[in-house]
Each structure stands twice: as C-alpha cells, then as structure tokens.
Structure 1
Amino acid sequence: MSLSTSSDNPNLKSSSLDLSQAESLCLLRLSAIGDVCHAVAMVQAIQRRYPQLKITWILGKVEYQLLKHLEGVEFVIFDKSQGWRSYFNLKRSLKGRKFDVLLHMQIALRATIASLAISAKTRIGFDRFRAKEGQWLVTNHHIEPQATPHVLEGFMGFAKAVGVTDLTPSWNIPVPVIDTEFAETLIPTGTPVMVICAAASKAERNWLPERYAAVADHAVAKGYRVILCGGPTPLERELAENIQATAQSELENQVGKTSLLQLLAILKQASVVLAPDTGPAHMAVTQGTPVIGLYAHSNPGRTGPYTCLDSVVSVYDKVISEQKQGDIPWGTRAKGGHLMELIAVDSVVAQLDRLLEQP
C-alpha cells in the first residue's frame, strides 16, 4: 500500500499524506481523560475525511471505559498497571497485523516503548522540538511545528498531516440509554443545575473547599441546584465532604457514585460546570456544556476547556511571570503548593453570573 503525498518533494517528512487508498490506521494515545477527549475530535475529523479507513486505537484501561462505544473504532487496551507485561500483551494482541499509518500521539517513555509493538510503514509523531521521550526515534514522519497550540490543536496537527482540511472540532461520544436515563432522572431536562467537579489529579491544583462552597451558595441563591461530582479516590471524597460541610446551602454529593459514562451524561444535563484543570472539564466540552475552568499551574491557552476559554478564571500569567524571566516556553508549568489560593471567589462568581445571564 503506497501513500501519496501532497508535496512535490516525496522526501519531505512533514508533508501531508493522502490516505484515500489506505485501509488501516493505528492511533497511540493511552491517557489521560482530558487528552483522549481532545483526541476524539481528531479521530472523528479523520473519519469524516476517510470513511473507509479502519481505525484501531491503543488506549488506557480507564480511558476505554469512557470511549468504548465510539463508532467505527477498534480499541486495544494497554493496562499500565501490569507493568512490563502490558508491553508483551500489546505485542501479542497486535501479532501479525500491519497498519498503513501509525499516529504516535503521546510523549511518554511508556508510549515510545509501546509503539515498538505496532507495525506500520508510515509512523507520524510530533515535530522534532516536541518529540521528546525518544518519540523521534520510533517515527519517520512528523506533524508541522506549532508555536502556541492548545493540546487539541496539537492533536489536530495529526489530522492535517494525513490530509484532513476540516479541522473544526466536534464530538460524538455515544452514551448508553441506561446511563442517559440515570442522568435525566437525577437532572430532569431544563432543571437549572451547576455541577462542581472539584478535584484535579494533584491536590495542589485544587481550589480551597470554602471557596467552592461560597460559589455553590451563590448559585443556590440564584435558584440553581448544585451537585458535586468526581471519582472514588479518597482525595476526591474528602474534598467533596469538606465543601458540603462548609457550604451554607444543601449540596448534593455524587462523588464516587458514578461511572465515567454516567458522569458524561450528567455533564450533558448540567447548565454549567465548575472545575480546575481536570478531565471532567474536557468531558463537559464534548457535551456542549459551559465550563468555568480554574487555572494557576498550567497555561489555560494550552490545557483549558477548549470551547470555553473566555470563561476561564486564571492567575497563570501573573504567577509564571513572577517565576520565570524572558521568553517563557509555551508549555511551562508554574510551581507551588498554594497557587490556587490566588483565585478569588469574586472572580469566579463574576464568570458564573455572566454565564447564567446568557440566554
């Protein structure tokens, strides 16, 4: 199977490919929840351009629970909890298979090692500047360099590299009827509800419970129900309990009580979502629900809720300018255990009021 290039120079490794005659494509993006939400938009852009293409996605075990009903995609699960066995299991799962194209979309050593189990003639990775953790050693094409991309735009660079011209993101993540009914029972359609997904993967990225509670009280005073959502980890449960204990109004606690697909359905039913830099913020984006993102450590221009960047409350620019001098690389993270304390309740309430006043 030969893949044509849109460039007159066939040796230009960043040139755009035409997959009209291709049969199979393998995507390597193992994690995390927010990133795979971005990747869905890219996958579905490729599907619209090349409906004949058989797509196989190497995906993490947890992330699979969210995307397992995605149409037209075969999933091969990579369970990193199995340690070195996970690589042998992946090689066994793909034994005898050869793909026309591999999209190597994860910059992590484990992904670089995992890619060795994938047989593909054309292996596309990030541009040389971003192809760290050895990725450049296991790829032979690269996407175009991007100066200041959002993560989603970085992923769309892979779609562009295979000839996709409509890069406008859209999402269709199927949710089983039983999960939709669960969410509609919890939040009847038309009910004004704010969902707070308070916990990020690292405690330092969490806002203070008393400040979440203050915003929740404000929403309740405006006539909104407030539901706390999140995963089953002790950190998430403790944070939710502290928010409930501090709030003056009655809040509903669903933390640790929902599957990822139930949470996705809840986020679709919500009127607005409040969250720090965490996966559910990006899940809400896929459902078209307004998100207020809270940012201090990472640049929201790179990792914020893509369709709701104008609703972000961020102190990142202030913090990073105090920590770094001169030209600051786009992906630079700010450091500190108390940066989220710089986000004021009034700033979040102002964004909430703005969203609630929109028709």
Structure 2
Amino acid sequence: MLRLSALGDVCNLVPTVRALQRQWPELRITWIIGKGEHSLLSGLSGVEFIVYDKASGFSGMRALWRELGDRRFDVLLHMQQALRASALSLGVKAEVRIGYDKARSKDWQHWFTHRQLEPHPRAHVLESFMDFARALGVDPAITGCPEWNLPIPETAYAEASRLTGETAYALISPCANPRLRNFRNWSAEGYATVIEHLWTQYGLKTLLSGGSSSQEREMGERIRALAASEAVIDAIGKSSLKGLLALIDRADVVIAPDSGPVHMANALGTPTVGLYATTNPDRAAPYGWRDFVVDRYPEAVRTYLHKEPDEIDWGERVRHPDAMALIQAEDVIERLDVLLASRPDATTMEPPHEV
C-alpha cells in the first residue's frame, strides 16, 4: 500500500486495512507512509510500515528504494493521487499495480498503474479507499462495516491525564493544516461562544488542541482572550499525536473544521461536530457523524463560485477566506445540543453557575 498523507486520510484508510485482514487473516501488508502519519498510526496491528519523510525529497526517495531492495509484492495499492507518490512507486516491484479510475485520478497517476478501480462517482473518501479492497474481491459485507481499532499506548493516556486530570471536557481543534489557501478555519469569536455554551449549560471545560505553528498559537490566544479562563484548558502545542488520540478518545465531544482531528475522533467513536464550508462534507465529513456536520458548503459554492453544487466537480474546494464565516455559532450549538442530550448523564448535569 502506498499512501503518504494526510492525517485525516490515513485514518479513513485504516478500515480498508481491516477489511483486507478480515478477508485474509494471513495477508502480509506493507504500508509506505509519511513520517508524521506514521507517528499517528504506529503499532497498527498486522502492518509493516516503511516511512518516507516528505521533507527528505529525492535523497529520501532513493534511500527508500534501497530499503525496498529486491523485495517483490503481489499487489501495489497506489492510493495517493500525487506525482511525488507516483515517483516513489517506481521503486516498488509489484506484479499488479492498482490505482484510481481516470475520473478520480490526478497528476497522471494512471501512467504508473496497470489496473484502475471501477468508477465510483460522488464517493466519500473512506469509500474511495474501500474500493481498493473491493477490487481485490473482499466480501461486500466486510467492506460495508468499517473498523479501526487504532492503537493508543498507556503512555499516551498518561500524557492526556497530565493535561486534563479527571476533568470532563469537550475538545476543540480550531485550526486545519496551515498551508497556502487552505481557508478552513472558523473564527475565534465563534469558538468562544461555543465554549461559553459548553461551560454554562453542561459544565464541560473545553480543551484547545493543535500544533505549535504560529497560526495555531495565535488562534488559541485569541480564543482564550474571549472565553472565560476557567472554561479553557490550553493544550495547543503540548501533545504528541498519540497523546492527541488519547485526548480525543476521552473527550465528550470533538469540534473542528475539516482536518485530522475530526477523522481521528470518528475512528475512535467520539461524538463529532465537523465545521464545513470550504470542503464538501458529502466527500470528506467524519464518516460516522455526517448527520451532525454544520454544512455551509452549498451556500459557499453559490456565494463565492457563483454556481450550483451540482455544476462543479466533485470535491471542488471553495478557496475564499470568508467562506467559513457563513457558519454561525447557533448552528454549532444546535448540533452540540443534539449530541450532548443523548449522554447517559445528560439529565443530571447542572451548569457550574447561574447563566
């Protein structure tokens, strides 16, 4: 298997691994994966990882080819639509090389494969990955029941406990990957309003998570300046990826834009509210929590692309800095209330002070 990135995508790929393992328990699976993504999934049962550091460029590619040496594989599942991944695949010796059908293929991926998937228009990302298992003949009953079983070591839970103690909390990961023209981040003001609601109505503190980039730290500072200090646990830049998994696993609910944490939460079965305006949730929402997405993508398409959603390519992004402003705090609170009302202790919860 070849899939280097990203965090959310590799989480969505794990059910394909589990489907293959359920069909053929003795199957040997080797996964060529990115460095950061490996730190998230390391220890995944029944999988040998070969790690490629994307920052290493061509020298790292040649080192990986040397590592593969004379190894031969029955099948290469080429699951990354990127020229870098296709170039990397040249060092993989496989009898059969399977890639996406031409409608889903990008960057000339079909030039690097022998066989393409059957067309699957308007597929969710997880379903697109599962198509590789279907192409190999995995039982439809298996592919229709996604499983994850992500490994979380006790050291990760200890790391989480150092940040939260025994406190009940919601987890907000306010920022998506800080790359050029990503435009997936919501407002600090919106998050602060949601944090106040969680605190006053449910007695839930909010743990802010994220990496150590300047964008993420600045967003955290703005949110903390607007929210009650007693309602916030600042964990931005303070956890490993395994630690973040543990934090998500113990959270009552996760709120985030289209980014790794919503898919990590989905994989762990943690209730999830995804915030979507610039990406299509029908393609990329947290798979098990699609009914709880705040979806302003159709409105964003009409407002900023001046088209109807069915007039654009599947999965096309709305790359406009104002698109996420279409999401209102009331939209998020309404989804949260539905989720939190179903908790076993919801009827006994009392707010921590008068509203």
Question: How far, CA to CA, are the matches of 2:54 and 2:154 in structure 1?
Answer: 30
**TM-score normalised to structure 1 length:** 0.90
In the alignment, the residues of structure 2 paired with residue 330 and residue 125 of structure 1 have an alpha-carbon distance, to the nearest angstrom, of: 18
Structure 2: gaps (5+ residues): 344-355
Give the residue type in structure 2 aligned to 1:334: V
**The 10-residue stretch of structure 1 (247-256 or 28-37) with the greater mean CA deviation from structure 2:** 247-256
Contact preservation (8 Å) 1:187, 1:270: no
Cα gap change, 1:205/1:226 in structure 2, threshold over 3 Å: closer, same or farther? same
Structure 1's consecutive aligned runs of 4 or more residues displaced over 6 angstroms after TM superposition are: none
Post-superposition CA distance 1:130-152 (Å, at most 9, x none): 22212101111111111111100
Q: What secondary structure is seen at the aligned counterpart in 2 of 1:128?
A: coil
Matching of residue 177 in structure 1 with residue 168 in structure 2: no
Residue aligning to 1:242? 222
Residue 34 of structure 1, CA deviation: 0.2
2:274 pairs with one of 280, 293, 299: 293
The whole-number CA distance in structure 1 between the counterparts of 2:163 and 2:138 is 40
Cα distance in 2, alignment partners of residues 72 and 291 from structure 1: 28
Query: Alpha-carbon deviation of 1:248?
Result: 3.0
Name whichever of 61-70 and 242-251 sits farther off. Answer: 242-251
Post-superposition Cα deviations, 1:180-239, rounded to whole Å, max 9, x if no partner, equal 2332454567x5311000001146211110110110011000211111011111111111
Secondary structure of 1:83 counterpart: helix
The alignment status of 1:335 with 2:311, answered yes or no, reads no
Q: Following the alignment from structure 1 to structure 2, what is the Cα–Cα distance between the partners of residues 185 and 88?
A: 41
Q: Which of the pair is proportionally richer in helix?
A: 2
2:186 equivalent in structure 1: 207
Structure 1 unaligned spans of 5+: 1-26
How is 1:109-258 mapped onto 2 (pairs within 5 angstroms)? Answer: 109-165=83-139, 166-167=142-143, 168-184=145-161, 186-187=163-164, 192-202=168-178, 204-222=183-201, 223-250=203-230, 251-258=232-239
Residue 344 (structure 1) aligned to one of 328, 332, 336: 328
- Displacement of 1:95 in angstroms is 0.7
TM-score (norm 2): 0.91
Q: Distance in 1 between matches of 2:301 and 2:92?
A: 39
**RMSD across aligned positions (CA):** 1.4
Residue in structure 1 matched with residue 348 of structure 2 by the alignment: none
Alpha-carbon distance in 1 for matches of 2:111, 2:34: 23
2:81 aligned with 1:107: yes
Paired residue type of 1:199: C
- Equivalences for residues 16-165 of structure 1 within 5 A: 27-165=1-139
Q: Could you say which residue in structure 1 is the equivalent of 2:294?
A: 313
Aligned mates of 2:210, 2:134 — CA distance in 1: 34
- Three-state SS of the structure 2 residue aligned to 1:204 is coil
Aligned residues: 332
The 2-side partners of 1:130 and 1:340 are apart by 26
Identity over aligned pairs, percent = 45
Paired amino acid for 1:246? L
